[in-house]
Every structure is written in structure tokens, then in C-alpha cells.
Structure 1
Amino acid sequence: MRGNLTVRKVKTASGATAVQVVRNEGRKRVIIKHVGSAHNERECEVLPARAESYGEAHQRQPGMFAGTPAPPSSSLFQNALAHTTLISLTRQFSRNTLFACARKCGLGRLPELYLDLALMRIIEPTSKLRTLELLQRYFNVSYLKRTAYRTLSKILEHQEEIETAAIQTACNDLKENFCLVLYDVTTLYFESFKEHDFQKPGFSKDNKPRQPHIVIGLITTRSGFPVMHEVFEGNTFEGNTMLDAVHRFQERVGETRPLIVADASMLSTARMQQLENKEYRYIAGARLADTSIGFIEQIHNELPRMDTASRRFSYAYAEQKVSVICEFSEARYKKDKREFDKQVERALKLLERNETGRRAKFLKKSKEKGKPFVFDTALQAKAEKLLGIKGYVTNIPEQEMPDAEVVANYRDLWHVEQAFRMNNLELKARPIFHHTKEAIRSHILVCFMAMMMGKYLEIKTGRSLRQIRDELWRVQEANIRDELTGEVYVLRMDPNELANSELIKLLDPEFPH
């Protein structure tokens, strides 16, 4: 062996041959590494070769004629493998990478348990008990069940810290200025028909009206990055959720008064008045079918039936005057016309068969004897005048924001809808295996953290969360134990061969090399 380390063979009291890597310091010999004890000829070949490799790797100075070492003979390599055991395959690379992403999102100071629960929503969402088992299997990370559940219940103490981190990440890293925020709600139902103190039946967007559920309100940036959420009882009307969430968001961002974009169901006359009183600007979908006959006639007469044609109208909701922007779309007209014709045909067939007990849009109760229902021609004419037309209500003057920009801002709502789809499909926020209010809110907060990390990676890399997860999951570590020495060696795939090199660039220098 070259340099200052040498291989030493010493007979032991048991008759075996101890193989050591030593260094001479003056008259003193220092044992650097005890490689193992050879008890037969094969071990006498393998252990010295292993000691040579160790010594070459730990020399204080390289040899004068250092070069590429000769590859070991196949027999020597096979002998070396004969004394090794594959203990496990782990995915530490995935965990380390998602931890680096969590730090990018400002979540690095949270207890590791919360980060592990959040990243497992990305990797393999399941119950909390199963998650603890998978953390052990995939990452060799162990948590006591009792300790984990007790710690999870305290995550709500960090909600303000988590949402503040989300706002700072959106502002500093994603360069959002919060001049516009998107708000929408969704519902999550429970696999039960028994309601609890927080889970209650109500309007369900999953078409599960008889099952208890909860209502979740979400605020995102224009790019879809989540910055605030609220959890409400299942029987809460979704229009009553917005002001609480917006008020808390306003407290976080300070003096900025964001433009609020919401669906039609979010704004009632009372809600618009409250926003006006607090000097908020808003854009929401307009329920044109609920407006007066005179206003619908005005739209019908003044809005050109040309694709993307738009017109701004003034309309009074109670005592409040707002602008209603109406836009005509050829594609929307074709879709609306198909649905309109089906509904008319259904109503006429029900009348013909005298099956008026079944629901149909264009049927109404009749005052004539022998005719419980009649065809509603007035409603048919009203609906026909609105085919292909979409309305948007706003309190922003045209001089401040042109109609085309109002429409474009409203269409950005698909980002928050996509965030909900990620939460439900990719992160699998349901089924929820909890019953108490605190446990449910803790679960949703973990999902919110996972959504932060997932959307951050999607926005920064331009790839879907599924693609990112698949790329990370390709990198494995083989944990191999040397049966002669008892040492465990880790062999990992080269992450630099990942197709998603943008991910490594994004997380560097956070990236765990």
C-alpha cells in the first residue's frame, strides 16, 4: 500500500488472522481500522483486499504514481459479495429532496413529524397509522404511535406560522404582489351517515347530500399557490365563508387591499355590501338567470351575438349599483343550446306521459283542474335569451380595469379549482379517519402543507406533481451489510441522471448531495 497507511495481519488467540489498517507514528503503531478476522483461505483473500481499498481511500497524501487502480478480478469480487447481505431498499433521496422543498417554502423550522406527514401525502397518501409504517419502510424513520398522535394534535398551534410562511414564499420567491387573490370552497364528505359536532349534512359538491361533510375555503395566488385556508362545519353556506378567510388574509398581508375573485355562489347582495363597506374590490360570476326580465331583455337587445363580444351594463342589486359585464361565446352557445334542447324535450315528454312528479326545469304547477303541471313558456323564453352568455359582476370602474381584463381575471379561478383537484386526487385529502374538530382541522392543515410543497414544485419546474413524484421515486438506496465486519454500506443511484434536472437546480444549494 502506498502512503502512510499499511495493512497488518496478526494471529489472534483463537487462531484466526486479524486484518487491520495501521499507521506508523514514530515507534508507535496506531490501528486505524480493524477490517475483520479471517478464519479460512477465502476470507484471507477478501479481507486484505478490502483493507487495501480502505487504505487507498483514506491516505493522508496520494502516492507519487497514483493512477487508476486495477479492477478486481471477478473471483475476488464474487468472494467479496459472498459476505454481504442486502438489508433493505430505501428512498432517502426522495425524503431529503422534499425536506429541501419544505425549507424553500419556509416550513423548515417545524417538527420533522409534520414534514414527514406532509411529504407522505405527496408520495403515498394513506391513514396516519399506515403512514407511520411507510415512513419506517421507505426512510428508516421511526415514530412511536402514541407520541405521533399526541404531537399531531398540536400542529394547529403552528397554523399561523405555516400560513405566514406560505405568504412570504409567494411574495419573496414566487414574486406575487397580492393585488389579486382567488377564493373558492369545496366539500369533503365522510364515509358515514352519522353526524358529529363538526361533520354535518349540507350541500355537497361530491353529490353526497345525505352524508356528513365539512366545507373548506381556500385562498390562492394568481398562479394557484395556496396561502390561506379555513375549515367550516358541513352545513355552512359557502357564501358565508369568504369574509372570515379574507379578513384573516388581510391581517397577514398588512396594508395591501387585494382584488378578490370568486365564483357566483360566493356573493349575495349582503356580501357585496359588506365588501363595499370594507373597501374591497371584487370580481364574481353573475347569476344572470336570477336578474329581472327587463335586464335580460336589455342584454338580449344590446349584446352582439359575435364570438368574444362583450358589453358592460349597470345593474342595481337592492340599493347597490354594480357593473355587470356580459360576454358572448360561440362555444358556450353550442354547449348551452344542446343542454337547453335536452331540458325542453325532457319536460315535454314528462307532460305527454303524465309523469310530472319527476323533476324537470321547464315545468311549473298549474292552477287548472286536472293539470297539475304545465310547460313554462316564459321561463323557456328567458333561458333562450341567455344562451351563450356569461356574466361577471364587479365594483371596479371601467376606467380602472377594462372589460377584457375583468374577464381574464375571473378565468384565473381555474387555478384554485386545480388546487382543489390536487388536494382531492393527488394528495387524497379524503377519506378522513378522524371525528373531532381538532383532529379534522389538523389533517386538513397537513394537506395544506403538502399542497404548498406540491404547487411550489409544479410552478417552479413546469411539471406535474405526478411526474415529479415518479422521478424522485426512481432514485433508491441499497443498504448492504458486510457480514465479516458488521458495517452497513449505502449504495445510491446517481440522482444527476434524473430527467428532471430542473428539480436539482431548483433546490441547490438546499439539495442534499
Structure 2
Amino acid sequence: MLKIREVKTTSGKTAVQVILYKDYKRKILKHIGSGKDDGEIHTLKLQANQYINDYTQQLSIFPDDNPNMVLFIEHTECIGFYYWFFYNSIQKLIEQIGFDKVCNHLLRDLVTIRIFEPASKLRSIELLKTYFGINHRRQSYYNEAPKWLKLKERVQRTVASFAQKVYDFDSSLMFYDVTTLYFETFQEYDLRKNGFSKDGKSQQPQVLVGLMVNKDGFPIAFDVYPGNTFEGHTIIPTIKSFMKLYEIKNLTVVADAAMISVDNIEQLRKENIHYIVGARLGNLSEESFGLLDHKIIREDGKIVRINTNKGYLICSFSTVRYRKDKYEMEKQILKAKDIVDRPAKNKKAKFVKSHKEQLTLNEELIKKTSKLLGLKGYYTDLDEATLSTNEVLKRYHDLYKIEQAFRIAKSDLETRPIFHFKEEPIKLHLLICFMALVISKHIELKTGLSIRKFITENKRVTDARMFNSLIQKEIIIKGKLTDTANAILQNLGIPH
């Protein structure tokens, strides 16, 4: 049994001790200190109580009557905050998705901190300690990271299985697009190659990333290609890899106009892959253009379907699109006229043509473009009986959701710029970012909040780190959940 004992000293002060009584014997377990007045003695007794609580390993460090008495406010300072509510929420989502069965603790934590505050891998290890009090050794990262490169297929299978349970994922319909991620360097190496940059960084090497999402915009699979790869050359190998992984026999892919070519269409048909892709009407053959111009009715909402060598060409007319296209064309014509009137080197414009070093307006192109004002085209190999024209348009319009996923990856998760040099670290970086994207998109779909807003709301629930100089101990004061935080937990299906 532990007791607090007060003993008068020869100096006239009162010593406070913690005494252990055992087998009718008394043992001084801890000498707390000596006080000269009632105030000091009272403080020493509180410290003695705290020592007894710690020694006996009681669960609560605060007595029910007055927590401030044990906290010793006048001797306590705030040394920081932990964000355990955010961390625990993400860990629960990781378990829901199934990543905990695929990845070890360190990889899961790197995914978590990528969402909270993107940084380099080694900096992320430091931030895990700062924000969550979680310690990982740098050497652990170096030892484990090479093994994670083999997890890509398992991660994608896990994501697809989760999507089937939560989002009724239909593997027979996928949306595909690519983006570029640039490097903070000007030196090419391995995957890092110069190419057409969607980020406006044409002088810097990049990689090309192909992403597949479902109808909700939930990411399912990804692939990485050298930065000088033409984006149209990525669709076939990515889709074939996806179909092989999930043993899919029948698939319809939705993609933008850059993915379509005669060669691609032949390969898609050969692999029994159906397609809905954007059409570049300016590249139509003379025969197809003439047929379209003859059949289309230029009234809002009118649609025409034409059979071509690339499949069925579906075109719709919109008065809103017409006004926008007309405005853009008129601007380009004015620019072309200015160049023709005042020729100068290195000046190019859409409606300018050159003949024997003489610049003139391209009247034929202007006439053709004017006939395309307000038109939007799509190619598909699916006939009307298989999929109606309106359904084709609806599915293509859902392609914008993949752009939303890219924005999350690039802006919120800061997937680029990439600072790695070799192929393996680059692929590992993208694997971590893909897993973080899966979690982020799930949060967005279930809560209606952007990932940035989600983090902001989570940061409102903090755990204060208080250091008491009297007992030389750090004390954690748990934060209270806000109404919004409770709603987030409910929407995500996380038990409180």
C-alpha cells in the first residue's frame, strides 16, 4: 500500500514522501521534496499523488474533482499539438479499403502524411513524429522501400475489390486519361524524358502517367511511361494490362480525342475493347466532313450519327458552344490579319498560310472552321442498339471526373514536381501518391468535402501537448470533437 507521509525536518520544513507499506514494514519509495509553508506542502502532496498514480499505472492521470490541481497550470507550458483525430481517421479508412493487409506500418504512415502535408520521404518521417508523435527510423525506410515496388498489383486489386463493394464498380466501363509530371531538374535519365508537357514545363524532363477511374471518378489503376511517350500510345498497353489483371473479357473505355488513331482503333477492335472517344472534327476526311455538313441540323440539342472508318461519328450542336467557338475564331482571324499586314519572323497563326514566302489568309480553313462552330464530336464502335446515342454522350461527359482526380493528385497531394533520379524511387513515389489519391477521392465522394477542407476540419480537433516542469512530464489533453468532425466520421462509416 502506498501512502503520503509528512515529516518535520531539522531545518523546520516539512518533507513529503511516498511510503510503501508491505509485510508490516515501511519503506520510503520516493522523497518528493520539502516545503516551508502550507502552499508549498500542498503542491508537493499533489506531486506525490501524481507519482502514486503513475507508479500504480492507473489509467487516468486526472482526478475527477479538479484536473487543474494535477496539471499545475502555473508550472505548465504548451509545447505543441498532435493531430491524432486526423491520423486515426485515415488509419480507419486504410483498414476499410484493405491497405492494412497489403502494406506495412511505415508505408501506411507515409501515405497518411502525404495527405496531411506532402513532403519528401525522409522529411515525411520527421513530420510523422512532429504531427502524430510516431517514430520511424530512416534506415527502416531504406530497408523496406525496395520491397514496396512489388506491391503495385496487390494495391490495385485491393482498390478494385473495395470499389466493387462500396461503389458498385463495373469493370466493363472505364475512363482513361493521361497527365504529365515534371521534375525539378533539366537532366534526362531513365523514365525522365523531355516531351509535350501539360504543365507548361517543356524544358524539364517528365514522366507520363495514365490513370483509370470508374464512373464516379474513383481511381482504380495507373501506369507510368517515359516522358517522351506519345499519349496515344499508352491506352492500349494500360487497358490490356488492366484486363489481364482482372480477367476482363468485355470492356468499354472512355477517353479524350488524343487517344484515337486508326492504328489504335484497329488494336482496340482486335482486343475486343469497345471505345467512346472524343473526335477532332478538324481532321475529318473530305468525305466525312461533307456528309456531316449535309446531315447536321444547327439547332440546339440536335444530334447526328455517321458511319466512318473510325467507327460511328456522333456530333451534337449547342448554341452556347457556337457563341464561344465563334468568339475564339474571330480572335484568331484578327490575329491572322495582323500577321499578314505586318509580317514578322516566328509569328504563326491558325488562319495564315504561306506560299512562296507570301503570307495570306487561309480562306478555305476559315470556311471549314465556320461550319464546325458549335459542334462537338465523338467516336464509338457501339451501335444504337447496344448503347443509345444519348448514353454515349452522357458517358463521355463523365470524363471530366478524371480531371478532378488529376487536380487532387497534382495540387493537394503535390505529386509534382518529382525530385527522384532513378526509375525505382519514381515508381515508388507514384505508388504512394496513388494510394493517397484513392483515400482522398473516397473522402471527397463520401463527405462532399474537398480533401483540403477535410484536413482543415480535422485540424480543429487537436491534442495539446503540455509539459509540467514540477513533475518533469509531458501530459496530453485530448481535444473535443466538433459537430463537423462527428458528421465526417458518420459519413465515412468510422465508429466514434
What TM-score results when the alignment is normalised by the length of structure 1? 0.86
Q: Using the TM superposition, give the Cα deviation of residue 217 of structure 1 relative to its aligned residue in structure 2, in angstroms.
A: 0.4
- Change in CA separation of 1:364 and 1:79 when aligned onto 2, cut-off 3 Å: closer
Q: Residue type of the partner of 1:213? A: Q
- Confirm or deny: 8 A CA contact 1:19 1:48 kept in the other structure: no
- Residue 93 of structure 2: aligned partner: 101
Q: Residue type of the partner of 1:42? A: G
Alignment of 1:379 with 2:365, yes or no, is yes
Q: Residue type of the partner of 2:87? A: R
Q: Deviations over 1:13-48 (max 9, x none)?
A: 99732246x8x99x77999x9797242143431354
2:83 to 71, 82, 91: 91
1:262 to 255, 258, 262: 255
- Change in CA separation of 1:38 and 1:338 when aligned onto 2, cut-off 3 Å: same
Q: Aligned partners of 2:485 and 2:292: how far apart in 1?
A: 51
1:300 to 293, 306, 322: 293
1:415 to 383, 396, 401: 401
Q: Residue type of the partner of 1:145? A: R
- Residue 60 of structure 2: aligned partner: none
Q: Using the TM superposition, give the Cα deviation of residue 241 of structure 1 relative to its aligned residue in structure 2, in angstroms.
A: 0.7
3-state DSSP of counterpart to 1:199 = coil
Alignment of 1:138 with 2:127, yes or no, is no
- Residue 37 of structure 1: aligned partner: 32
1:400 to 367, 386, 404: 386
- Change in CA separation of 1:310 and 1:85 when aligned onto 2, cut-off 3 Å: same
More divergent stretch after superposition (332-341 vs 192-201): 192-201
Query: What percent identity do the matched residue pairs reach?
Result: 32
- Residue 236 of structure 1: aligned partner: 229
Counterparts in 2 of 1:468-507, with a 5 A limit? 468-495=454-481, 497-507=482-492
Q: Aligned partners of 1:16 and 1:96: how far apart in 2?
A: 45
- Residue 327 of structure 1: aligned partner: 316
Q: Aligned partners of 1:289 and 1:246: how far apart in 2?
A: 27
Q: Aligned partners of 2:376 and 2:132: how far apart in 1?
A: 51
Counterparts in 2 of 1:215-364, with a 5 A limit? 215-255=208-248, 257-317=250-310, 322-355=311-344, 357-364=346-353
Q: Using the TM superposition, give the Cα deviation of residue 507 of structure 1 relative to its aligned residue in structure 2, in angstroms.
A: 4.7
Q: Aligned partners of 1:35 and 1:407: how far apart in 2?
A: 79
- Residue 62 of structure 1: aligned partner: none
- Change in CA separation of 1:364 and 1:508 when aligned onto 2, cut-off 3 Å: closer
Q: Using the TM superposition, give the Cα deviation of residue 176 of structure 1 relative to its aligned residue in structure 2, in angstroms.
A: 1.5
Q: Deviations over 1:345-387 (max 9, x none)?
A: 11111111133751111122215xxx53322211111111111
More divergent stretch after superposition (386-395 vs 50-59): 50-59
Q: Using the TM superposition, give the Cα deviation of residue 488 of structure 1 relative to its aligned residue in structure 2, in angstroms.
A: 3.5
Q: Aligned partners of 2:457 and 2:343: how far apart in 1?
A: 60
3-state DSSP of counterpart to 1:399 = coil
More divergent stretch after superposition (266-275 vs 475-484): 475-484
3-state DSSP of counterpart to 1:153 = helix
More divergent stretch after superposition (131-140 vs 391-400): 131-140
2:5 to 4, 9, 19: 9
Q: Aligned partners of 2:196 and 2:227: how far apart in 1?
A: 8
3-state DSSP of counterpart to 2:155 = helix
Q: Aligned partners of 2:26 and 2:320: how far apart in 1?
A: 83
Q: Deviations over 1:93-149 (max 9, x none)?
A: 221211111112211131222122222221111222322221221112222334323
Q: Aligned partners of 2:262 and 2:71: how far apart in 1?
A: 82
- Change in CA separation of 1:269 and 1:468 when aligned onto 2, cut-off 3 Å: same
Q: Residue type of the partner of 2:328? A: E
Q: Using the TM superposition, give the Cα deviation of residue 403 of structure 1 relative to its aligned residue in structure 2, in angstroms.
A: 0.8
Q: Aligned partners of 1:354 and 1:467: how far apart in 2?
A: 51
3-state DSSP of counterpart to 1:204 = coil
3-state DSSP of counterpart to 2:72 = helix
- Change in CA separation of 1:388 and 1:507 when aligned onto 2, cut-off 3 Å: closer
Q: Using the TM superposition, give the Cα deviation of residue 255 of structure 1 relative to its aligned residue in structure 2, in angstroms.
A: 3.5
- Change in CA separation of 1:138 and 1:281 when aligned onto 2, cut-off 3 Å: same
Q: Aligned partners of 1:477 and 1:355: how far apart in 2?
A: 65
- Residue 424 of structure 1: aligned partner: 410
3-state DSSP of counterpart to 2:484 = coil
Q: Aligned partners of 2:437 and 2:318: how far apart in 1?
A: 34
- Change in CA separation of 1:29 and 1:331 when aligned onto 2, cut-off 3 Å: farther
Q: Aligned partners of 2:54 and 2:421: how far apart in 1?
A: 57
Q: Using the TM superposition, give the Cα deviation of residue 486 of structure 1 relative to its aligned residue in structure 2, in angstroms.
A: 4.4
- Confirm or deny: 8 A CA contact 1:46 1:79 kept in the other structure: no
3-state DSSP of counterpart to 1:126 = coil
Q: Using the TM superposition, give the Cα deviation of residue 183 of structure 1 relative to its aligned residue in structure 2, in angstroms.
A: 0.3
Q: Using the TM superposition, give the Cα deviation of residue 343 of structure 1 relative to its aligned residue in structure 2, in angstroms.
A: 1.2
- Change in CA separation of 1:498 and 1:57 when aligned onto 2, cut-off 3 Å: farther
More divergent stretch after superposition (170-179 vs 330-339): 170-179
Q: Aligned partners of 1:58 and 1:148: how far apart in 2?
A: 36
Counterparts in 2 of 1:206-221, with a 5 A limit? 206-221=199-214
- Name structure 1 gaps, 5 residues minimum: 60-67
Q: Deviations over 1:326-356 (max 9, x none)?
A: 0011111111111111111111111111337
Counterparts in 2 of 1:125-204, with a 5 A limit? 125-204=118-197
Q: Using the TM superposition, give the Cα deviation of residue 506 of structure 1 relative to its aligned residue in structure 2, in angstroms.
A: 4.1
Q: Using the TM superposition, give the Cα deviation of residue 262 of structure 1 relative to its aligned residue in structure 2, in angstroms.
A: 0.5
Q: Using the TM superposition, give the Cα deviation of residue 219 of structure 1 relative to its aligned residue in structure 2, in angstroms.
A: 0.5
2:430 to 436, 439, 444: 444
Q: Using the TM superposition, give the Cα deviation of residue 312 of structure 1 relative to its aligned residue in structure 2, in angstroms.
A: 0.8
3-state DSSP of counterpart to 2:421 = coil
- Residue 81 of structure 1: aligned partner: 73
Q: Residue type of the partner of 2:100? A: G
- Residue 59 of structure 2: aligned partner: none
- Residue 63 of structure 1: aligned partner: none
- Change in CA separation of 1:491 and 1:214 when aligned onto 2, cut-off 3 Å: same
Q: Deviations over 1:231-286 (max 9, x none)?
A: 10011111111112112211232235232001111121111111111111110001
Counterparts in 2 of 1:104-119, with a 5 A limit? 104-109=96-101, 110-119=103-112
> CA RMSD of the aligned region, Å?
3.1
Q: Aligned partners of 2:31 and 2:473: how far apart in 1?
A: 10
